[in-house]
Amino acid sequence: MANKCKICGVGDATFKCNQCKRVFYCSVQHQLEDLREHKYFCQVLPPEPSKGSGKGAGPGGRAQATAEQISAGTFNIVFGRFITLMIPIIAFSTYRYFHMEGRYALADRLLAAKSENCTAEDRQFLETEFGDFDIVIPWVNGSDAAWLQRRRAACTEWLSLCRARCQNETNATNETTQNATNSSQCSIPCSRQVPCGDSHTNIHKDHDELRYLLRSLDRHLPWHRGRILLITPQGQVPTWLRPTSELKRLKVVHQEELFEALLASKLFVPASQRSKDSLGSFLPGNIFNDFPIEHALAFLPNSTDNVMLIQDDLLIGRPMSICELFTKPPTVGLRLFSKPYNIFEMTDPSIIDRINMNSLRLFWNWQELEPSIGTDQWVWHQHPLHAPQMLNIELLRKIWQMFPREMSASTDSPFRNVHGLDMVGLHHAFAFSRSGRPEDAEPGTATGDPTWLSKVVDLMASEEMQPSVRPAKQLFFEAAFKNGAANEWHKHMLFMSPEPEELPLIMGFQDLLVKGQSSELDCLRERWLTALFSKPSSWELPKVRPGQCRAYANVDLSASYYASFIVSFNHYFVD
């Protein structure tokens, strides 16, 4: 008997649901038409028999993820559009062990690029169960004179300790400095281990971006009901922020309080008990980079099971669904925005590259020594992208339990340096490792379709890697500014009209400026952001207006300037 199309009844239908394998269609278009109705019908059908499929199963043998499973780390990881674009073909065999329960059919995947076909019912469930997570925003006013003075003093102290350690190594070996330090951390000059001089202070300057991040959260995440935690150095609070009594769910947490909670933990190893390479203790009051804050999130008081970490130079460009952060039910999991770390691409490693290499080495050593993991089950270390990052607190604590000395040394560092670790990258790597080895999987066997990843990469690449894709269809956009001139702003923002319906979901503005003038760039950015988010957030004092343009009042940023480019290049975009 010929298989008939569910939509039109035509026989010899060649397409079928890849999950239940019981419903047929004559074309991809008819399968997409039936997607919304069939997805729930498919969930209650008994799946095809497979080993271990009944363990912990709910209706129809489908596993029902709970908040307890997520906090315990047994959740599934589903690739978002970030990860799929970055995985090289050679990595496919490494990823074939990922547990991908609740996969959708190949024909559905183009639609799945946006919120994974999340329905209103899916969103309501996720908002009810998981919409109260904490949002953590590290922020510093790098223009504060007192903060800059303390930073200079800490820089002088750190460099002095570093040079003293290297001199001691030289004396102990009775060799030349170069020969004595080639095998040690001193093979890298101290000034390069930590570039903490005044030439690097401009990247910490307050560009007033936090104001617009909060406006974007207030406007584009109306479903979020959890706390928003602003992590700042002691004594620093934005001048435009309302009094504490009026902030409601926004809380200012001084980073020293977070570090005190870490120091009170039994997992923290003091400098005196760490290795000989330790350069003393700078906690809790002399920390001038955000990596220790990320490390210490495992000890955040009264935190939710999952938190979102978002940098102050990011913003949400258009309304964001909770389905962009959690995978849809019944197999709920966290979406992780990262890419496999490719050590082979580096020629002259930066500090961030060396931090990634340290983290990779730690993670790979763990995989090699872990008896339950075979070499054919290894997963790649992850490099988090400049995007909102969902973190599981319990998993962060487990990382501290596994590596207390290494984590303590990395946290007790006043500046980013070549010996540090990346907690977010480690979190994502261990999450992928857990996802790749579910409890009900037989050792050495793949738990998902080995071709699944390659198909997704092909489809996502065809949609997003072309420069002619409209900004409104992109998930992520980032502009990195190096000279601060007006032409640099116009170059990056050429096609970015300050209208939510025309923008990517996540936008980043990285200031990689060294010592120099950036007031022109600050003014252009302020006017564009104010056009996008003209209404103050509920946490702002309305009378305290943005002031980045006061130092450069003659910058021309008329709407017609951008409109002319958008109209001229409208034919360049594809729908």
Alpha helix segments (H runs only) across 372-441 = 393-402, 404-411, 423-436
Mean pLDDT rounded to a whole number for the chain: 72
Query: Of 407, 404, 436, whose CA–CA distance to 420 is shortest?
Result: 407
Largest CA distance in the chain: 88
DSSP classification of residue 451: T
Look up tokens 């009810």; give the residue. Answer: 128
User: Across 149-163, 233-247, 363-377, which has the greatest mean pLDDT?
Assistant: 233-247
Residues 131-180 pLDDT 10s: 999 999 999 998 888 999 999 999 888 888 888 877 776 665 544 444 43
Q: Are 32 and 111 in contact (CB under 8 A)?
A: yes
Omega of the bond leading into 238 within 30 degrees of 0 (cis): no
End-to-end CA distance of the chain: 41
Query: Of 392, 390, 396, 394, whose CA–CA distance to 337 is shortest?
Result: 390
Q: Are 398 and 283 in contact (CB under 8 A)?
A: no
Q: Which of 75-89, 115-129, 252-266, 278-292 has the lowest mean pLDDT?
A: 75-89
Residues 94-113 pLDDT 10s: 222 222 222 222 223 333 33
DSSP classification of residue 454: H
Query: How many angstroms separate the CA atoms of 298 and 395, rounded?
Result: 8
In this predicted structure, what is the pLDDT of residue 301? 95
Q: Give the angle 247-250-255 at the CA atoms, nearest 5°.
A: 120
Query: How many angstroms separate the CA atoms of 422 and 514, rounded?
Result: 23
In this predicted structure, what is the pLDDT of residue 491? 81
Q: What mean pLDDT comes out for the span 120-141?
A: 94
Question: Which position has the higher pLDDT, 227 or 52?
Answer: 227
Q: What mean pLDDT comes out for the span 504-518?
A: 73
Query: How many angstroms separate the CA atoms of 67 and 85, rounded?
Result: 29
